[in-house]
C-alpha cells in the first residue's frame, strides 16, 4: 500500500450568485453554513465573498463557494461534484426535493455499480447524488432509470440488468482485486 496518507477532503467552486447557491446547497442538500466572509483576491484590489458549507461536524467545510464566476462562461470546467447517499431512502428523498425545487434537469441513471441522480446546481455545475450498489460491472456505463417504481422493483431491475453486463461480480470481490492491485503498485 502507498506510504502517502492522502484522501479527498473538499472542493471550491466559483459562483456568480452566492444567494441562489446557498439556497440550493442548504435547502435541498442540507449542507450547513459553517462560515462566510471576504478575502482579497491575490494580485488585485478586488474582494471575493466566500461561503463555507459542510454536512460533517468534523469538517469545517466540504464545499467552499467563492464569488467572482463570470456569468458568460462558454464552458464549465467542473465535470461533476459527487455526493454519496447512505441508502435508497436518502436518494429517493433527494430526488423528491430536487423535483420540488423545480430543477430543469433531473436524470436518474444506473452506472451498473451505482444508482445516481444527476442535477445542475443554480450555476450549472453538475451534481451527482449516488449510492453504491452491492455489485460491480465494467465502466463506463450509463442507463436511464425510472425512479417512480417501488424499491423492490427498482433494485430487482438494477440487479437483473447488471448480471447481464461485462465484469459483473459482487462489490467485495472487486474491492479485494483492487486492494491487491494497489498493493502491488506501491
Give the span between the Cα atoms of 95 and 84, in whole angstroms. Answer: 13
Predicted pLDDT of residue 74: 81
Predicted pLDDT of residue 76: 76
Integer angstrom CA distances of residue 36 from 5, 32, 60, 159: 30, 11, 11, 44
Give helix then strand counts, H and E, for the chain.
4, 11
DSSP string, 39-60: EEPTTSS-EEEEEEEES-TT-S
What the block records as the C-alpha cell of 134 is 452491492
Q: pTM of the prediction?
A: 0.82
Q: Over its length of 186 residues, how does the chain's per-residue pLDDT go in tens digits?
A: 555 666 677 899 999 999 999 999 999 999 999 999 998 988 889 999 999 999 998 899 999 999 988 888 887 778 899 999 999 999 999 999 999 998 878 999 999 999 999 999 998 889 999 999 999 999 999 999 999 999 999 999 999 999 999 999 999 999 999 988 878 876
* 3-class secondary-structure state, position 166: coil
> 141-161 burial, b for 16+ CB within 10 Å, e for fewer?
beeebeeeeeeeebeeebeeb
* 3-class secondary-structure state, position 110: strand
Predicted pLDDT of residue 3: 59
Predicted pLDDT of residue 129: 93
**Residue 60 near residue 34 (C-beta atoms within 8 A):** yes
Predicted pLDDT of residue 7: 65
Predicted pLDDT of residue 53: 94
Amino acid at each position: 500500500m502507498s506510504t502517502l496518507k492522502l484522501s479527498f477532503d473538499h472542493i471550491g467552486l466559483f459562483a456568480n450568485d452566492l444567494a441562489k447557491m446557498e439556497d440550493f446547497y442548504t435547502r435541498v442538500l442540507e449542507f450547513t453554513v459553517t462560515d462566510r466572509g471576504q478575502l482579497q483576491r491575490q494580485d488585485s484590489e478586488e474582494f471575493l465573498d466566500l461561503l463555507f458549507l459542510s454536512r460533517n461536524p468534523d469538517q469545517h467545510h466540504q464545499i467552499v463557494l467563492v464569488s467572482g464566476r463570470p456569468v458568460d462562461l462558454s464552458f464549465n470546467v467542473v465535470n461533476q461534484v459527487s455526493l454519496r447517499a447512505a441508502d435508497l431512502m436518502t436518494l429517493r428523498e433527494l430526488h423528491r426535493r430536487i423535483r420540488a425545487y423545480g430543477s430543469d434537469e433531473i436524470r436518474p441513471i444506473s452506472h451498473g455499480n451505482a444508482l445516481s441522480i444527476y442535477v445542475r446546481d443554480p450555476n450549472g455545475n453538475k451534481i451527482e447524488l449516488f449510492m453504491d450498489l452491492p455489485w460491480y460491472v465494467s465502466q463506463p456505463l450509463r442507463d436511464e432509470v425510472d425512479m417512480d417504481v417501488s424499491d423492490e422493483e427498482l433494485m430487482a431491475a438494477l440487479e437483473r440488468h447488471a448480471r447481464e453486463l461485462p465484469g459483473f461480480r459482487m462489490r467485495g470481490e472487486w474491492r479485494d482485486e483492487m486492494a491487491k492491485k494497489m498493493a502491488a503498485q506501491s
